[in-house]
Amino acid sequence: MKKNTAPYLAPGHSACVGCGAALAMKLVLEALGENIILVIPACCWTIIEGANLCSCLPKTPVIHTAFETTAVVATGIKTGLEVQGQNEIDVVGWAGDGGTFDIGIQALSSAAEKNVDIMYFCYDNEAYMNTGVQRSGATPCGARTTTTPGGNILWKKNMPEIVAAHRVPYVATVSLAWPEDLQEKVAKARTIKGFRYIQICSPCPAGWKYEPRYAIKLARLAVETGIYPVYEIIDGKIIFKAMKPKPGAKLKPVEEYLKLQGRFRHLKEANIEEIQKRVVEERITLLKKAGLESPDFSYLLLD
């Protein structure tokens, strides 16, 4: 058979300028390599892959499915392959945050509980962006969406730890600002057997309302301010690796991250202070869980 020399993500996809999800797919597919089957539910990638019998993923077989069924369709495909002895093929779910945090959580929980041998990627753009920015369980506190016009009052659901509570072998969060780290984690996950969950912080120009050139900058600031921590949970243990916090190093103030985005523009100083306080609290809890307590661990940064 002729070798398929096409790129993993071909030109002609229909993502917005400055979309994190398109870049995320490119990085992940490059790290995964060949011999995978992709399952995509209702999400931005339903559209991004291309309409009318065109696909921008020339090397990857893709099955599109209904919103809530990513994990269950992936489970079914994996079972079908296993019955035929094709164990080397990895089945990869690729869902947005709405399809993961909210509507798909039942199927996700079921597959995670059974430790089905599939990979599940959630590209987290923090709302139902494909349908025009409605709040999801992943929407951060304060963010304005069409269904939270006054700003979201709830704190983001802690999905990585919810998945990890199913005692799965591998959970990770990654950022597009550290592509080497992202690809390393994906490649590592590929070698592990069982249910693997990777959540990608994926900036969205249409929903976050930023200038397209700030996509990577925002992905970086999300980590540097402590709003979107990047870590792994291996067999239930939280591990910081590439961006290990150092004692004494300070987090950047959340304001730097918030002020670049239209979705936070309505926030008053008091609101930002509240968010800052909560981010620090969450950070302390997370570092405690990771066993990284130190006298001044409250403001820790990456190296």
Task: Choose among 23, 20, 6, 63: nearest CA to 39.
Answer: 63
Say whether residue 132 binds another protein (CB under 8 A): no
Q: Which of 3, 11, 12, 53 binds another protein (CB under 8 A)?
A: 53
Sequence-ordered alpha helix ranges (H) in the chain: 20-32, 44-48, 70-83, 97, 105-113, 159-164, 179-191, 215-224, 254-258, 269-289
The answer to the question of residue 57 lying near another protein (CB under 8 A) is yes
By C-beta, is 60 or 100 nearer to another protein? Answer: 60
Considering the complex, state which of residue 92 and residue 243 has its C-beta at the smaller distance from another protein. Answer: 92
Q: Using CB under 8 A, pick the residue from 44, 60, 120, 159 that binds another protein.
A: 60
Q: Is the Cβ of residue 79 or residue 134 nearer to another protein in the bound state?
A: 79
β-pairing verdict for 245-246 and 301-302 = antiparallel
> Based on CB atoms, which residue is closest to another protein, 4 or 146?
4
Inter-residue contact 202 to 123 (CB < 8 Å): yes
Count of residues engaged in binding another protein, rule: CB under 8 A: 34
Examine residue 51 and tell whether it contacts another protein (CB under 8 A). Answer: yes
Least distance (Å) from another protein to the CB of residue 125? 19
Stretch that binds another protein, among 19-27, 57-65, 136-144, 262-270 (CB under 8 A): 57-65
Q: Does 116 bind another protein (CB under 8 A)?
A: no
* Per-residue binder mask for another protein (CB under 8 A), 64-103, x = binder: xxx--x------xx--xx-xx-x--x--------------
State which residue, 46 or 134, has the beta carbon closest to another protein: 46
Chain centroid to Cα 292, Å, comes to 24
Query: Distance between CA 273 and CA 246 in Å, rounded?
Result: 24
Handedness of CA 248, 215, 64, 1 (dihedral sign): negative
> Cβ distance 38 to 221 under 8 Å?
no
Our CB check for another protein shows the closer of 16 and 234 to be 16
Q: Does 36 participate in binding another protein (rule CB under 8 A)?
A: yes
Q: Residue 131 interacts with another protein (CB under 8 A)? A: no
Question: What one-character-per-residue DSSP string does 129-176 give?
Answer: TTTT-B--TTPPTT---SS-TT---SPPP-HHHHHHTT--SEEEEEET
Q: Which residue lies nearer to another protein by CB, 53 or 270?
A: 53
Question: For residues 122 and 90, what is the distance between their CA atoms, to the nearest angstrom?
Answer: 16
In Å, how far are 73, 76, 229, 234 from 244, measured between CA atoms? Answer: 36, 38, 10, 15
Of the candidate spans 31-39, 121-129, 180-188, 244-252, the one that interacts with another protein by CB under 8 A turns out to be 31-39
41 or 142: whose CB is closer to another protein?
41
Chain position carrying tokens 């019998």: 53
Binding site for another protein (CB under 8 A): 1, 4, 34-37, 46-47, 49-55, 57-66, 69, 76-77, 80-81, 83-84, 86, 89
